[in-house]
Amino acid sequence: MDIKLSAGELLERFLRYVKVNTRSNPENMDQIPSSQNQVDFAHQLEDELNELGLSDVYYNDADSYVTATLPATDTESNYPTIGFFAHRDTADFNAENIQPQVVENYDGGVIKLSDSGYELSPEDFPSLNKYKGQTLITTDGRTLLGADDKSGIAEIMTAIAYLIDHPEIKHGDIKIAFGPDEEIGMGATRFDVERFGADFAFTVDGGPLGDLEYETFTAAQANVKITGKSVHPSEAKNIMINALQVGMDFHNAISAFDRPEYTEDREGFYFLDGFEGTSDEARMSYIIRDHDSHVFEYRKHQMEKIAEVINSKYPQKVIDIEIVDQYRNMREILEKDMRPVTLAKKSYKAAGVTPNIQPVRGGTDGSILTFRGLPTPNLFAGGENMHARFEYVSLETMVKMSEIIIRMVTIAKDYEQF
């Protein structure tokens, strides 16, 4: 099948999308979505889906997802119903007045990020060496770009528009969902999986060309409250319990090399991402991550044991620890039926892309969706250096993902034979 996508059309969409500030707000996690600008952008996408001519275009106030259906062009064959997800929100970095730069035919050298004083250099960012001769979209050095995950939205939209313009391409029903609050881990927890009606799905939310992910961390949040006994330092002997010192003792009891800065691949970690207070009271917050479910449970147990041992040294309880599970390694479900992963591999190869299968050192909406009954591996979307001023993406990589989506929905005809 000869697929000739318009790179210019995809670029126009992407630039239009990233200029809209859709940063999620972790302080409003009880609000759906966490920021009003995500609602405004959702309605823009809703209008665009209607203009393209999709069916069942719907914005759900209850979960803030925009969903739509591209009906099958082949109703005689036994295609599965496939869903494609991307998230609308961007991460916790300046997203106001985004002014993307388009660098055509990248020469392999230093890219100045406008007059901000920042630059993208292959010396600092070796990933640039892969993109010589390609068109890169960067920031101006003052904001993030938003390729995570507006590249995914643009790629899905472009693929769907191509399929609409080429009804001779045979496929089954295709479902689309653009959701909120992925960056704060809330969007997929509210999604109406049953109404969506897909057999399986893919998040288009990964990194560079070829990435294919079906294994994530299992994750938990640990909140530690320390109650001290504050007295004047001159009278502190045998009386004072310094909550800050207890917090340091707690942290130092955790393996010094089980931290993000010392781990890679499938190695898990404890990450202290908050510590505040006084000698009277302090609070600490951790995230706990591991790909192995047994090691993950051990990590949680160790934190509780450390608290228990420290508490035993004082006349009253000084540490309260609450550990809340967040999401689980989606491989636990997906390995029971690997056909969605097989379909992705076949589609990559049909597009001339070598699958790069690796565990995600984090989670995706797919983690939550998979455990809610919708198997959802993660596909690449192209972003590099995501979430900050050095973010960039290759236009050629985005075009390739749109092509893969088109190939995937046709190859799916043989899904039952995988």
Tokens 């995230």 belong to: 287
Residue pair 48/157 in contact (Cβ under 8 Å)? The answer is: yes
Q: What is the dihedral of CA 182, 185, 189, 192, to 10 degrees?
A: 0
CA–CA dist 321, 257 (Å, integer):
22
Which of 248, 219, 224, 225 has its CA nearest to residue 303? Answer: 224
What is the per-residue pLDDT for 187?
Answer: 85
Contact call for residues 77 and 169 (beta carbons, < 8 A): no
- pLDDT reported for residue 417: 84
| Both tokens assigned to 276 | 């505040």
Q: What is the pLDDT along the chain (418 residues), one digit of tens a residue?
A: 899 999 999 999 999 999 999 999 988 888 999 999 999 999 999 999 999 999 999 999 999 999 999 999 999 999 999 999 999 999 999 999 999 999 999 999 999 999 999 999 999 999 999 999 999 999 999 999 999 999 999 999 999 999 999 999 999 999 999 999 999 888 899 999 999 999 999 999 999 999 999 999 999 999 999 999 998 888 889 889 999 999 999 999 998 899 999 999 899 999 999 999 999 999 999 999 999 999 999 999 999 999 999 999 999 999 999 999 988 999 999 999 999 999 999 999 999 999 999 888 887 899 999 999 999 999 999 999 998 999 999 999 999 999 999 999 999 998 888 8
How far does CA 62 lie from the centroid of its chain?
21
DSSP secondary structure of 129-166: GGGTTS-EEE--SSS---HHHHHHHHHHHHHHHHHHH-
The DSSP H or E segment spanning 364 is: none
The CA-atom distances, in angstroms, between 50 and each of 55, 67, 364, 393, 405 are: 8, 11, 28, 28, 20
Q: Which is it for strands 378-380 and 200-206: parallel, antiparallel or unpaired? A: parallel
119 phi and psi angles, rounded to 5 deg: -150, 155
Q: Which of 68, 160, 151, 80 is nearest to 340 (CA)?
A: 80
Given 48, 63, 89, 205, which residue is catalytic?
A: 89
Q: Is 182 a catalytic residue?
A: yes
Query: What's the pTM?
Result: 0.89
HSE-CB of 74 using CA atoms within 13 angstroms: 17
- Predicted confidence at residue 107, as pLDDT, reads 97
| Token reading at 242 | 């310094």
Question: What would you measure as the largest C-alpha separation in the chain, in angstroms?
Answer: 86
Looking at residue 343, its amino acid is: L
The span from the CA of 16 to the CA of 10, in Å, is 10
Tokens of 325: 């599970």
**Of these residues, 63, 155, 181, 182, which one is catalytic?**
182
CA 314, CA 298: separation in Å to the nearest integer?
A: 25
**Which single residue is written with the structure tokens 């689980």?**
328
How buried is residue 124: exposed, middle or buried, by Cβ count under 10 Å (0-12/13-18/19+)?
A: exposed
> What's the token pair of residue 387?
């979430």
